[in-house]
Amino acid sequence: MTDIALPEALASAHKRLERALDEAGRPHDAAMLLAVSKTRPAERLRQAYAAGQRAFGESYLQEARDKQAALADLDDIVWHFIGPLQSNKTRAVAEHFDWVHSVDRLKVARRLDEQRPAGLAPLNVCLQVNVSGEDAKSGVSPDALVELARSVDQLANVRLRGVMAIPAPADTRAAQQRPFAELRSCLERLQKALPDAPLDTLSMGMSGDLEAAVQEGATQVRLGTAIFGQRPPG
């Protein structure tokens, strides 16, 4: 595994995001950088934290819980759950995360709502959409999105913030932009259907396609490799 020096890698990721925002004619505060730290040891997250990073994205619950325990002294970390979410994992996510990007069915949203502890702010939720060219089996179809959003928006202990997608890697800029444009129009459709919901989030763009996502309006880009180096295979 390439052990990139964390502060330098993080700084160049921020530069890359700013350059993409410049190119898109958007202000530098229009999108934030989520550090995707799945498979990285807690010590690497601590280095990123020391370099100023606060938002971390994790995909595997037990691994994330171990790191949260190891980093319990860093109490202003904002934890985002971005992995597939089964019903039997919702309680720990509701109790220990600030955001979930991967809600794709009502049953999971209802459980998160019921299990969110009373003392905590509502859980921020994005609906994962299966846009065209999607690799993953997860994600609500664009056709079913508005109906799901209407139901999720009624839940008191979750805040419906927007949509997320994980398009398959594509070689050309045009092919990268197409699913991101589709996701943007999904968000616009939700904003029309639910004018009072706090829908401000387009979670899209990873290390390989950040520029295309920012061009199409991403507000949260999820960078793993670009910050922490290559993940070990397997």
Ligand X SMILES: *Cc1c(COP(=O)(O)O)cnc(C)c1O
Position 166 contacts ligand X (CB under 6 A): yes
Q: Which stretch binds ligand X (CB under 6 A): 13-21, 89-97, 175-183, 219-227?
A: 219-227
Q: Does 133 bind ligand X (CB under 6 A)?
A: no
Q: Which stretch binds ligand X (CB under 6 A): 5-13, 140-148, 193-201, 204-212?
A: 204-212
Cα–Cα separations (whole angstroms), residue 92 to 64, 85, 123, 146, 219:
10, 11, 12, 27, 26
For residues 126 and 99, is the Cβ–Cβ distance under 8 A?
yes
Q: In the complex with ligand X, which residue's Cβ is closer, 157 or 207?
A: 207
What are the tokens at 68? 């949260």
Q: How far is the CB of 26 from ligand X (least distance, A)?
A: 20
How far apart (Å, rounded) are the C-alpha atoms in residues 41 and 9? 16
Question: Measured between alpha carbons, how far is 33 from 25 in angstroms, rounded to an integer?
Answer: 18
Q: Which is nearer to ligand X, 82 or 186 (CB)?
A: 82
Site for ligand X in 4-33 (CB under 6 A): none
DSSP labels, 149-194: HHHHHT-TTEEEEEEE--BPP-SSHHHHHHHHHHHHHHHHHHHHH-
Does residue 59 touch ligand X according to CB under 6 A? yes
* The one among 36, 94, 163, 199 contacting ligand X by CB under 6 A: 36
User: In whole angstroms, what is the distance from residue 75 CA to residue 71 CA?
Assistant: 8
55 binds ligand X (CB under 6 A): no
Nearer to ligand X, 113 or 209 (CB): 209
Look at the block and give the residue holding tokens 């980093």.
Answer: 71
Candidates 207, 226, 210, 228; CA nearest to 218 is: 210
Beta strands in 20-143 (DSSP E): 32-36, 55-58, 78-81, 99-103, 123-128
How many residues in the shown chain lie near ligand X by CB under 6 A? 13
**CB 118 to ligand X: min, Å:** 29
Stretch that binds ligand X, among 70-78, 148-156, 184-192, 218-226 (CB under 6 A): 218-226
Considering only 17-25, 85-93, 142-150, 205-213, which stretch makes contact with ligand X by CB under 6 A? 205-213
Residue 90 contacts ligand X per CB under 6 A: no
Tell me which of 10, 55, 190, 226 binds ligand X, using CB under 6 A.
Answer: 226
- Residue ranges in contact with ligand X by CB under 6 A: 36, 38, 59, 82, 166, 206-208, 222-226
